[in-house]
Amino acid sequence: MNGGICFEDLKIGDTASTGKTITEADILMFAAVSTDTNPVHINAEVAAASMFGERIAHGMLSAGLISAVLGTRLPGPGTVYLGQTLRFRAPVKIGDTVTATVEVTALDPAKKRATLRTVCTVAGKPVIEGEAVVMPPARA
């Protein structure tokens, strides 16, 4: 095994989470790396006039926490990310703590693939919902 949980050891209902408080630095670094410089993320004056009334984090910054759970916790190191759906439900603001949680919902023994429900929450309310398909690490 490569450090993660191999397909044969996964069970429907297995869950894992991680959380992060989003900072201004996170938003600025994500804008730099992704080249997404939409003013609603980086310009307070423009963002104040938006439907959000203030700057918000990039949706994909929060979605990246799902990748962190899949790659480090469940199934963990060695996991290959094959697909992801995302539905953005609410904005994430500077200072919000986002918790990403994944739950195994289906296992395909023929392909050795797992499907997981994915959700990011702030104060218990969903900000992102979706589903991931992964290939867990192979047994050594």
Question: Which of 139, 73, 75, 85 is CA-nearest to residue 107?
Answer: 75
Q: What value does the mean pLDDT of the chain take?
A: 96
Domain 7-21+62-135 belongs to what topology? Thiol Ester Dehydrase; Chain A (3.10.129)
Q: Is the pLDDT of residue 13 over 60?
A: yes
Tens of pLDDT, residue by residue over 80-122, are: 999 999 999 999 999 999 999 999 999 999 999 999 999 999 9
* Domain range summary for the chain, segments of one domain joined by +: 7-21+62-135
Is this model's pTM higher than 0.75 or not? yes
